Structure 1
């Protein structure tokens, strides 16, 4: 009789130290990820073709995170009735990604609420949609429908007023309970980055007050209490995973961010997006500044939605300059009636703007990194002191840097001061061991 091999221990949950995601060793973790939100029935990735080879592709190209969307409409098709088979489909994709060492940020996704009020798909259920008979028109389509449709704005107003559902229970209470039910499926799973509470909440009729100076009244007085209900409900079933709250959708376009940590939860993060308009990109600065003010970790969980390589390079370079984690929205995620569902891989993703070097785990606190996609030169500097305590890491602590084959087709050279290279030549993951008594490490990678 053969004794089965012991299973490898599950990786601990990620935490954070101020602005940094951290692993169980206290290393500063950076994620480069993609969004996967399938907006057509049956609303789960496998139905859109995502499978083993796609997860392998993401791993091979250095992606260590996926924002994994689900539809409230599919989770709770009737008030208080949950479709566990649907949630299991989302969970199966999460487990597939975990086998490839990819973290999932489980995301409750919507875009303009429900198709009956002008959305191109129904992220939120029809039974939770109360337009009070107001007209959908004018409806120029997503996202402009937010600004024009009376039905759209009245529906959001009723959510924020906690209108009773057909069973007499408030919509907000239904939403929070739904989230707790979903979280039970992920509480013990490895490689769960956390929960993104609601995608791009819209203020409803209050939206004109959000331009140009943001909407502090809505974010602090309406949105934060709503997301607090969700956070409290999840915490009753999951005490460990990070909870990522989102500010108003108007922040995506560059308005100031006033969003507080809804409950003061120490294991919280802010999920914010970068679709800034105009020449000056304030989205990242607004998000990071507000995250820092709240003492939470900030992650750019959406950007892109374009194949413009120059724009993507500019954005990715900006994220590097700010040392921020991000999750790309690839063109296949723009799932309109005329656009097919496709996994966000292969030619949809393989772009030097997005597939690029980055320090995915630093035994210390990052100070700077930069990548020149033209020359292939990557530089990294970091302190060997921990982000959480300021104490130095032990000698020999490992830092990991992903170096894509597409960026270094003929291999690479490494110059390092303060750390020794301990990985094999031209390994996709460069490993550096901190030298004795070193306060700072400086690394330069060039193409061979």
Structure 2
């Protein structure tokens, strides 16, 4: 899982102390986008194959019990439909290195096929998959709640696991946990004499070649929440500049190069150190300068001051990449979730939610990864899922269900105008508008049916800006 499984009070305390073949698809209630099967980016914006700006509202889908794939936990077609009907157009689809490569250099292609089948199921509903190599505290033998990384790549040099308060605090306490990460960053030789980092990069290439060329693959999230190992005390409060630039970036760069050898098109998302989840500054550069790259970062900042979002977006902007909040939440506090999603709207950010039932800690076993367990009604809200222009602002008032959007009618990639008839799509949750909605559109014509869950509009000739307001009927 993510660090978000820890109660906020534990995180705050730590910071203070440390300073089979799929069936035929049904017709989805929410139609897929008219384009967007392959995404790229124009600076800070995700873009589709029409050049429209795409915003993703997504969820995390990671099954942490053997055999480590979502269908084994119960995820099926009804769940993909449920996600689409609630406006989710992206899933961070996790897999376990432990299951892909059970022995050094030996790959389980049947396992990879299971992950691929889930991606294809999601694609039928217009849902993009960010394929994610997921781990949390490495392996159960060094204090993790599950084994994302394999035992054969775990080298603790005989150090004790204890003291082990359980995930995620084991990161801060266990000698075995931290020595294992140290040895990973030193590229310790696996039993076959090949370094564990080389194995990891080759594993990623093996996985990526199965997804290359497929539609509705958002890209690849190269490693979940990498931990600095015994160097972690130096990362508070000012971040990990040496680790991220001298250790983590070269490692993720090697993985990016391995993936690029088999997939030239899909986006590559690199992650900063796990300490960034707590709000430390982000020093992680684009490891290779790849123009089709993005920054995947998480927002579990404790307390009222949330620097996680701006740290991530600012870092992505510095490197000219797109930044996506690929984890946040891990709580059922509706007020907290509303405040976070309001903040993401203020920054016009894409995000992927981590649902509290998917936490897995010694005190909280993961619930089945089925539709309702992957989301929370508090994060279901209107948003512009595809804009034939460049967004300038959008906002949703949960008290009144009023939604506003303003955008310039020019392409984000070039500043050129869109061709006449280019369609902007806005998801409007039926739960927010049970009796329908009213539309006030300035500069555009509505071309969807009254009350449709996806509002479609096209800019009027000669208009530079579109302003949209939606209110309940």
TM-score between the two structures when normalised by the length of structure 1: 0.96
Q: Deviations over 1:388-417 (max 9, x none)?
A: 011122333210000010111110000010
Are the equivalent residues in 2 in contact too, given 1:34–1:344 (CA < 8 A)? no
Q: Deviations over 1:17-47 (max 9, x none)?
A: 0000000110000000000001110100001
1:290 aligns with 2:315: yes
In structure 2, the partner of 1:156 is 181
In structure 2, the partner of 1:302 is 327
2:55 aligned to which of 12, 21, 30: 30
CA distance in 2, matches of 1:162, 1:87: 25
In structure 1, the partner of 2:336 is 311
1:56 aligns with 2:81: yes
CA distance in 2, matches of 1:336, 1:229: 31
Are the equivalent residues in 1 in contact too, given 2:332–2:376 (CA < 8 A)? no
In structure 1, the partner of 2:156 is 131
In structure 2, the partner of 1:100 is 125
1:413 aligns with 2:450: no
1:346 aligned to which of 362, 367, 372: 372
In structure 1, the partner of 2:345 is 320
Are the equivalent residues in 2 in contact too, given 1:366–1:382 (CA < 8 A)? yes
In structure 2, the partner of 1:187 is 212
In structure 1, the partner of 2:398 is 373
Are the equivalent residues in 2 in contact too, given 1:395–1:437 (CA < 8 A)? no
User: Between Structure 1 and Structure 2, how many residues are aligned?
Assistant: 440
In structure 2, the partner of 1:224 is 249
Rate the CA distance shift 1:10–1:178 in 2: closer, same or farther, 3 A: farther
Q: Deviations over 1:297-332 (max 9, x none)?
A: 000000000000010000010000010000000112
Shift of 1:169: 0.1
Runs of 4+ in 1 over 3 A off after TM superposition: 8-12
In structure 2, the partner of 1:261 is 286
TM-score between the two structures when normalised by the length of structure 2: 0.91
Are the equivalent residues in 1 in contact too, given 2:39–2:48 (CA < 8 A)? yes
CA distance in 2, matches of 1:126, 1:193: 30
- Helix, strand or coil: the match of 1:269? strand
- Helix, strand or coil: the match of 2:58? strand
Q: Deviations over 1:360-382 (max 9, x none)?
A: 00011001000011111000000
1:72 aligns with 2:91: no
Rate the CA distance shift 1:122–1:10 in 2: closer, same or farther, 3 A: same
- Helix, strand or coil: the match of 1:105? strand
Give the unaligned 5+ runs of structure 2.
1-31
Are the equivalent residues in 2 in contact too, given 1:332–1:344 (CA < 8 A)? no
Q: Which moved more, 1:33-42 or 1:340-349?
A: 340-349
Q: Deviations over 1:117-141 (max 9, x none)?
A: 0000000000000000011011111
Are the equivalent residues in 1 in contact too, given 2:213–2:265 (CA < 8 A)? no
Rate the CA distance shift 1:322–1:195 in 2: closer, same or farther, 3 A: same
CA distance in 2, matches of 1:71, 1:238: 20
Shift of 1:11: 5.8
Are the equivalent residues in 2 in contact too, given 1:357–1:402 (CA < 8 A)? yes
CA distance in 1, matches of 2:370, 2:130: 16
CA distance in 2, matches of 1:25, 1:394: 10
Are the equivalent residues in 2 in contact too, given 1:364–1:382 (CA < 8 A)? yes
1:113 aligns with 2:111: no
Shift of 1:348: 5.5
Q: How does 1:208-287 map to 2 (within 5 A)?
A: 208-287=233-312
In structure 1, the partner of 2:23 is none
